[in-house]
Amino acid sequence: MESVSLSRILIVEDDLGVREALALALGLEGYAVLTATSAAEGLRQVSAQPDLILLDVLLPGSDGFSFLRELRERSSVPVILLTALDEVEWRVKGLREGADDYVVKPYALAELLARIQALLRRSSRGGAEALEYKGIRLDPEGMVARRGAKALELPPKAFQLLATFLKHPERVISREALMLSAWGKLVEDNTLEVHLSLLRRELGAPPAIQTLRGSGYRLRL
């Protein structure tokens, strides 16, 4: 399987067996691997500027959600949560705290590698100009979005969805196109709906994203 050569991946995982197995698999794929056994150690390792973080939710001392909150104050590095917590509320919480993707244990290594590659491809793309439509403004470089004077607090995937809408205002965008723009692949319908719901809620009133049944979605005011 093709990999992104020399990309640095930080594994924050307290389970020795899982940590060593992941480190070995990623090393064989051509990645440089950093490891940490706790949230505190993981935050220290962020100074090494990893290109992506694999983060276990259940960590000793401080959980992965606390790690994410502190991380997002200083870095937009992509994060994939690895956890056995499969309930929808945990997925939503992880996305709200700033995770880019969510993989439930046990997982297929091939799927995890594909998700890593997709995130690394997107994060390596160059900068872009600010996007704006009728008071909704997004700065891809600074990862900042606003509606009027209100700053929008968006998880990375919702941020990417908003960017896609702003690139094509008032045009109907299919579900598949939205999935590919944010995830680089087709995902479950519920995954897309969760992120669209977060985006709509944060944008507030008047509603800005329309649903056109059987066709897709449209940003229109």
Residue 11's pLDDT band (cuts 50, 70, 90) = very high
Confidence of residue 29 (pLDDT cuts 50, 70, 90): confident
Alpha helices in the chain (DSSP H): 16-28, 39-45, 64-71, 88-97, 109-123, 156-167, 175-183, 189-203
For 146, phi and psi rounded to 5 degrees? Answer: -140, 150
- Given a cut of 70, whether residue 2 has pLDDT beyond it is no
Question: 0.95 exceeded by the pTM?
Answer: no
Percent of the chain surpassing pLDDT 70 = 93
More confident residue, 102 or 212: 212
| Mean pLDDT, residues 31-53 | 90
- At residue 84, the pLDDT reads 78
Alpha-carbon gap, residue 205 to 191, rounded angstroms: 23
Structural domain boundaries of the chain? Answer: 8-123, 131-219
Asked if 8-123 and 131-219 have one fold, the answer is: no
Q: In this predicted model, which residue has the larger pLDDT, 30 or 146?
A: 146
- State the average pLDDT over residues 103-127: 78
* pLDDT exceeds 80 at position 85: no
Over residues 146-167, mean pLDDT: 89
Cα 146 to Cα 11, 161, 165, 202, 220, distances in angstroms? 33, 14, 14, 10, 16
pLDDT at 3 over 50: no
Largest CA distance in the chain: 52
Q: What's residue 185's pLDDT?
A: 75
Where does the pLDDT of residue 83 fall: very low under 50, low under 70, confident under 90, or very high at 90 and above?
confident
Greater confidence (30 vs 201) lies with 201
pLDDT of residue 168: 86
How much is the pLDDT for 129?
A: 67
**What fold characterizes domain 131-219?**
Arc Repressor Mutant, subunit A (1.10.10)
Tens digits of per-residue pLDDT, 168-216? 888 888 888 888 878 777 888 999 999 999 999 999 999 999 999 888 9
Could you say which architecture CATH assigns to the domain 8-123? 3-Layer(aba) Sandwich (3.40)
**Does the structure show a pLDDT above 50 at 140?**
yes
Evaluate if residue 60 carries a pLDDT over 90: no
Decide if pLDDT at 80 tops 50.
Answer: yes
